[in-house]
């Protein structure tokens, strides 16, 4: 019953998340679970590199970046476990080079892409437990995105 509930939640949430995507963006139609995991790994590595840079450059951001990076590490372990469970191997961890753009706006864009990769990937996973686990990860990532949005609003209000 809980697998059915997780799939139902994913089916109900994904269209809402996709509807919130800016009109200029194109949705990704993933062909397989392996492709979903690969995209998430790549996008999470990019967001993590931006978070690490922000944490180094802004002492005030350290608590947030440390917490978000700890979530990323946990998400990586969850994906590795699901890969093995789905017979996809352990999968190499993606790494991202240091970004030249250390702005909050660039971090926000990277974080948003990561959240949408999760939502867009649900249909290709084909497994209720994988959807459940990645949905829990997506909630964390959406929470991070909200904090980044609030931070951007505060910075804009300051002028």
Q: Quick one: pLDDT band at residue 91, thresholds 50, 70, 90? A: confident
Q: What is the pLDDT of residue 95?
A: 72
pTM (whole model) above 0.85: no
Angle between helices 128-158 and 2-19 (to 10 degrees): 30
Query: Over the stretch 40-85, which tens digit does the pLDDT of each residue have?
Result: 999 999 999 999 999 999 999 999 999 999 999 999 999 999 999 9
Is 75:114 a contact under the CB 8 Å cutoff?
no
pLDDT at 133 over 80: yes
In CATH terms, the fold of domain 2-20+33-158 is Ferritin (1.20.1260)
Q: Quick one: pLDDT band at residue 23, thresholds 50, 70, 90? A: very low
């Amino acid at each position: 019953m809980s697998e059915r509930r997780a799939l139902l939640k994913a089916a109900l949430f994904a269209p809402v998340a996709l509807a919130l995507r800016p009109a200029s963006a194109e949705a990704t139609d993933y062909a397989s679970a392996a492709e979903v995991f690969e995209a998430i790994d790549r996008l999470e590595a990019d967001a993590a590199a931006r978070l690490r840079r922000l944490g180094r450059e802004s002492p005030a951001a350290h608590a947030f970046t440390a917490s978000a990076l700890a979530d990323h590490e946990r998400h990586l372990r969850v994906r590795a476990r699901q890969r093995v469970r789905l017979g996809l191997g352990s999968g190499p961890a993606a790494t991202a080079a240091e970004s030249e753009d250390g702005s909050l706006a660039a971090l926000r864009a990277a974080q948003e892409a990561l959240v949408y990769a999760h939502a867009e990937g649900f249909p290709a996973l084909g497994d209720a437990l994988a959807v459940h686990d990645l949905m829990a990860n997506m909630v964390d990532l959406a929470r991070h995105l909200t904090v980044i949005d609030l931070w951007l609003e505060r910075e804009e209000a300051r002028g």
